[in-house]
Amino acid sequence: MFVRVAVPIPQLDLLTYSVPRDLGHAVVGARAVVPLGARSVTGVIVAVDRTPHGVAEGADVRPITQLLDREPFVPAEIIALAQWTAEYYSAGIGETILATLPPTTRAERRDAHKTRRVAWLTAAGQDGLDTGTPRQQELLRLLAASPQGMATADVTARGFSAALLTRLSSQGLIVLRRERVNRDPFASSVVAGQAPDPDRRLTREQDDALARLVTLAERREFQVALLHGVTGSGKTEIYLRLAARVRAAGRRVVMLVPEIALTPVVAAAFRHMFGEQVAIQHSALSDGERHDQWQRIRNGEVDIVVGTRSAVFTPVEHLGLLIVDEEHDGSYKQDESPRYNGRDVAIVRAQKMGALVVLGSATPSMETYHNAVTGKYEHIVLERRVLDRPMASVTVVDMREQYALDGPEVVLSRPLKVALADRLLKQEQAVVLLNRRGFATSVFCRQCGSSVECPNCSVSLVVHGDGSARRARCHYCNYTSRVPSACPSCAAPYMEQAGFGTERVEQEVAAACPGARVARLDRDSTRRKGAIAAILSRFRDREIDVLVGTQMIAKGHDFPGVTLVGVISADVGLGMADFRASERTFQLLTQVAGRAGRGERPGEAIVQTIYPDHYSIQLACRQDYPSFYRKELLFRTAMRYPPNVSLINVIVRAKSFSQAMDEAGAVVEQMRQRDEGQKQIRLLGPAPAPLGRLRGEYRVQFLVKGIHRTRMREILAESLAARPELARRVVVDIDPLSVL
């Protein structure tokens, strides 16, 4: 017997091994320990063959070392989905299969479950409650009051010695054995909030939308629906009730959210409604928690899974509904191989399972909205907020005028300061957004003009921290250094800090609002496990007056006490050399403005920008998505960008710029030759990548455009196969969300 095994090595295809008779029968989906060079790795069996597949005649086939499973550990459906993902996104099957597994199941061991030692009273012990020493009698009575047994750790914590337990066990009065313990992530990860009321009356729009979705789900066939609802229109309530209907029909549900910050809130709502039938999956859980949750899903113990993008691969059987909330969000796209988009993989999985996919957003991606308005997807619209609450009023502040009044270092405009003070006086809450971390974005010399840059990447170092703890850090390679007091180039002692991030904004808000309770939510403030849930819980419980943060605070959260949203540098992304810059700006502004006025009091948003007339900012302030789509589509059509065409971004890395340019040019030339006369692709480049140097390597990129997705990938794959030496130095991003 021979098997083809996916091993966790980038760009490596399936490997063929023999199965020794003494190891037993191998099955697809089982894990196996296999030799790879001089080491051993754990892989997953993808195929079982009678003859060695793809092995030259007479070549030796190495045997597998160990079979970790006697039955499929990974269901065949998930293996098929991983194979599709690897093929479509030009990734190795091994690294794609690896993405489907929780961390502890990747090791060379059969069991990663947590266990505890438990003591039970035997029948003899029950009969002997009045025998032995007083201390023995006390312990026996304690165990008699615990018919489910008691953990020995709890017993010893009450002052009973381990020796006494051992002695009673040897006398047959108690029995000691180990039992499995499920690590419960809900104990620390769920934000307490208002429980959903299943009897609450829906609005007419909600009721109509739910009825249409239930009809689609009852067909038990593949269908995609866009639930396009303005912020505060009650999409989550529809998700909950639709999930209940699907579950009642005997099918299961996967709910995807883009950010780990959203998982506790959404999981709490589902947990309130469905109890222990809910599992969660995301990378902020401990390895043990992820393992136990994954095992519960695999064993069919739960009906609903809530998680981030990797949850699309969870082994849920009888799947009837996949929900992708905030479907437009860039977090669904993985930025390392396999570079898959969780939303698109969810659609493919539903297609294979005959399930319904609901894509929810107030600001759909251009591709999703295009599919909806052209009839490919069902289009369901919610135009009004629940209880007919008004959308937040929006004020645009031209920061050029503020700079003229107060100087170029202004962070908070005068209107925003006044509004913050007014809300605090009324004991209301505010959110302040800046989608940029750190204290200052660069350090430069006033004498020679040079800035402090990362030695490994072509970017300026960002200042983090305060006072003596302040450090300069690269956000790409994590290089850090002290903030220099003298210029590294000319030695002049005239170093200045320019730009600002969320740390500076937090400081400015605290200074402008003495006595206000200010907190910050970004990647730097939430590195500790449970920090996200803790900050959000404090804000929900009104223990924080002003929450400053990045895009983590811009979407999905429902805080009734928030009546003011301030947006600092609303145009921070417009200057990027990326065709999606306007789309991302529109989405972020629309989403964050939607956080205000979700309670009984009306909301206000103040948007600070130096481009007040840009269409993405103007239309976001009016919450006018259809007009933005039409305006943006004119640009995309003229420049031949998605959604009208497909796109592949290819980056070639090398130790020198000239080498990267030459190698990228050679690949482009081979692609042109393969496409000669067919005109199925259009090539742009090669050219220096916007981020020209990263982690010590130079980067050159070229773009592949076309309408024939399969042929585009084939031409690229054939051209790269002719240059195998580039395999580990080429990044292929199919359907990129960014070309930086």
Same fold for the pair 202-387 and 393-437+501-635: yes
- Spell out the residues 6+ positions from residue 212 whose beta carbon is closer than 8 angstroms to its own: 225, 378, 380
For the chain, what is the largest distance between any 2 Cα atoms, rounded to a whole number of angstroms?
A: 97
Closest CA to 532 of 150, 245, 265, 720: 265
Q: What's this model's pTM, rounded to 2 decimal places?
A: 0.87
- Match 């059509």 to its residue by tokens: 637
Which amino acid appears at position 606 of this protein? I
pLDDT tens track for 64-108 = 999 999 999 999 999 999 999 999 999 989 889 888 888 766 544
pLDDT value, residue 104:
66
Nearest Cα to 247, choosing from 265, 225, 270?
270
Q: How far apart are CA 370 and CA 150, in angstroms?
A: 59
Q: Find, among 504, 557, 541, 636, the residue nearest to 236 by Cα.
A: 557
CATH number for the 114-181 domain, one of 1.10.150, 1.10.10, 1.10.260, 3.30.465? 1.10.10
CA–CA dist 623, 593 (Å, integer): 9
Instruction: Give the pLDDT score at 191.
Output: 47
d(CA 421, CA 509): 10
Number of Cβ within 10 Å of residue 94's Cβ equals 24
The residue among 635, 540, 546, 547 whose CA lies nearest residue 586 is: 635
Question: Which stretches does DSSP call E strand in 103-173?
Answer: 114-121, 150-151
Residue among 614, 106, 610, 605 nearest 404 (CA): 610
Cβ(158)–Cβ(142) below 8 Å: yes
Could you report the per-residue pLDDT of 380-405, keeping only the tens digit for each?
Answer: 999 988 877 888 889 999 999 999 99
CB 505, CB 524: distance < 8 Å: no
- For the segment 520-578, what is each residue's pLDDT rounded down to a tens digit? 998 888 888 778 878 888 998 999 999 999 888 877 677 888 999 999 998 888 878 88
Omega before 686 within 30 of 0, i.e. cis: yes
Which H or E run contains 672?
helix 657-674
Which tens digits make up the pLDDT trace of 145-202?
A: 888 888 888 889 889 998 999 988 998 999 998 877 777 676 654 444 555 666 778 9
Determine contact, residues 52/61, Cβ cutoff 8 Å. Answer: yes
Residue with tokens 């095992």, as numbered in its chain: 295
Q: Where are the beta strands (DSSP E) in 37-91?
A: 39-49, 66-67
What are the distances in angstroms from CA 509 to CA 63, 438, 440, 525? 64, 15, 16, 17
- What's the pLDDT score for residue 640? 94
> Can you name the CATH fold of 202-387?
Rossmann fold (3.40.50)
The beta strand positions in 522-575, using DSSP E, are 546-549, 562-567
* Cα pseudo-dihedral 20, 25, 27, 30, rounded to 10: -70
pLDDT of res. 598: 78
Which is it for strands 471-473 and 462-464: parallel, antiparallel or unpaired? Answer: antiparallel
Contacts of 687 (CB under 8 A, 6+ apart): 700, 701, 702
DSSP state of 616: H
CATH 1.10.101.10 fits 393-437+501-635, yes or no: no
Which CA distances in Å does 373 have to 123, 381, 382, 645? 71, 11, 15, 16
Residue-wise burial string across 517-549, b where 16 or more C-beta atoms lie within 10 A, e elsewhere: bbbbbbebbbeeeeebbbbbbebbeeebbbbbb
DSSP bridge pairs for 452: none
Give the per-residue pLDDT at 190. Answer: 45
CA distance 142 to 616: 69
Rounded CA separation 316/301 (Å) = 10
* φ, ψ at 623 (rounded to 5°): 55, 40
Q: Which CATH superfamily is 2-106 part of?
A: PriA, 3(prime) DNA-binding domain (3.40.1440.60)
CA neighbor of 502 nearest in space, from 461, 463, 533: 463
In this prediction, the residues of the chain whose per-residue pLDDT falls under 70 are: 58, 104-111, 184, 186-198, 467-468, 556
Rounded CA-CA distance 488/445 in Å is 9
What's the confidence (pLDDT) of residue 192?
47
pLDDT at 619: 94
pLDDT at 186: 67
CA distance 61 to 55: 8
Give the pLDDT confidence of 41-51 residue by residue, as tens digits: 899 999 998 88
* Tokens 């289009």 sit on residue: 379
**Boundaries of every domain in the chain:** 2-106, 114-181, 202-387, 393-437+501-635, 439-499, 646-734
Q: Which CATH class is domain 646-734?
A: alpha beta
Q: Decide if 654 contacts 686 (C-beta within 8 A).
A: no
**Distance between CA atoms of residues 105 and 113, nearest Å:** 10
